[in-house]
Amino acid sequence: MRRRKVLGIVALVVVAVVAAIGISLLTLDRWLYAALDPGPFDPNAAPAAPNYAEPSAWAALPTVDDDADVSLPELPALGPGVAKADVFFVHPTTSLAKRWNTPIDDPEVIKATARGATLIEASAFNACCAVYAPRYRQASGKAFVVPSPDGERAIDLAYGDVAAAFASFLDRRGEGRPFVLASHSQGTVLAARLLREKIWGKPIAKHLVAAYLIGGPISRQTIGEDIPICASEEQWGCVVAWNARGPRYERNGFEFKDTPATSRICVNPLTWKTDGAAAPASQNQGALFFDTEAPAVLPAFADAACQKDGNLWISQMNRMPARDAASGLLLWTMGPDNYHPIEYQLYYVNLRKNAVRRVEAFQAAHASP
């Protein structure tokens, strides 16, 4: 009798623990944002502005050996001075600091940006372009998912850095070279604004090969009505965007607060079309995770189809390779089948080759007769 009572108590404890874990997972976003709440925005407390004349203000430069130069024998990077085009890459959120804007010289942020952005994302463009990736006083992730006047001020400050870095980029690269704009997550929000305010409709727009605005709330509202959406693999002067999700995905508190998802732009990275046709995994030339111990091209890793809900739907995906604890925790935190943290890696080789192809198409169209 006593044994049965003990077992009953144990069962109740297990149920209580499981319920507590379930509730914690459902409210994880609220716990995290409360723990990292920066308080009122104080412009006087903002970190010092970057000086983009200094190499230290950049996570990647063509004149510096950095993580954006990583390559495999079968996917060689262009050597110094070889690239005929440039890429301006705006990195995603790489800081969980309890402040509205993060200083660019924080050693942990520098390390996280190298591993979580230039290594696994910006490197996708080192076969087509010289890679430029500015550091900037990134805004707290809370600013993008819990909109507020304080958050908007933090985003404006981050955008001011990106705009200043772009001006420096134009000075550094010389006149007349084609360029690619690329980004992910927070970087995509800022890059979309940069495209809208500093590039499109300006003289520099004639040199734009494409804007790869990945993993963000990209819609007609965010980029404007007159900027073309890429609808083929060789089209240039257009925008590519996608947000990768799967069947178990449910929207949660870690999502961008934006216009309804159905208005988001989705370009399939396996077909480079917007028609909604499903592309089998066999068309995936290779996922690539440089944050593993032995990075390797993983062909046919995932399929892709643009859905009516505005997301890029993945219904078939191979088993993930072993990655570091931080990468695994981030993917887990986003929730089931929310592939936001690996949107570059899943289609890495297709993206890499497409950037090369678009640059070549741009150059062919602008070749002297």
State whether 16 and 49 are in the same domain.
no
pLDDT tens for 286-344 read 999 999 999 999 999 999 999 988 999 999 999 999 988 888 888 888 889 999 999 99
* Positions of the chain with pLDDT under 70: 1-33, 35, 258-262
State whether 16 and 85 are in the same domain.
no
Confidence (pLDDT) at 79 = 85
Q: The domain containing residue 82 runs over which residues?
A: 36-365
State whether 215 and 131 are in the same domain.
yes
State whether 98 and 176 are in the same domain.
yes
Confidence (pLDDT) at 331 = 87
State whether 8 and 90 are in the same domain.
no
State whether 296 and 180 are in the same domain.
yes
Confidence (pLDDT) at 309 = 84
Q: Say if residue 30 is exposed, middle or buried (CB neighbours under 10 Å; 0-12, 13-18, 19+).
A: exposed
Confidence (pLDDT) at 53 = 97
State whether 27 and 102 are in the same domain.
no
Using only the alpha carbons of the chain, give its radius of gyration.
21
State whether 31 and 42 are in the same domain.
no
pTM as predicted: 0.91
State whether 307 and 193 are in the same domain.
yes
State whether 137 and 29 are in the same domain.
no
State whether 20 and 119 are in the same domain.
no
pLDDT tens for 116-131 read 999 999 999 999 999 9
Confidence (pLDDT) at 343 = 98
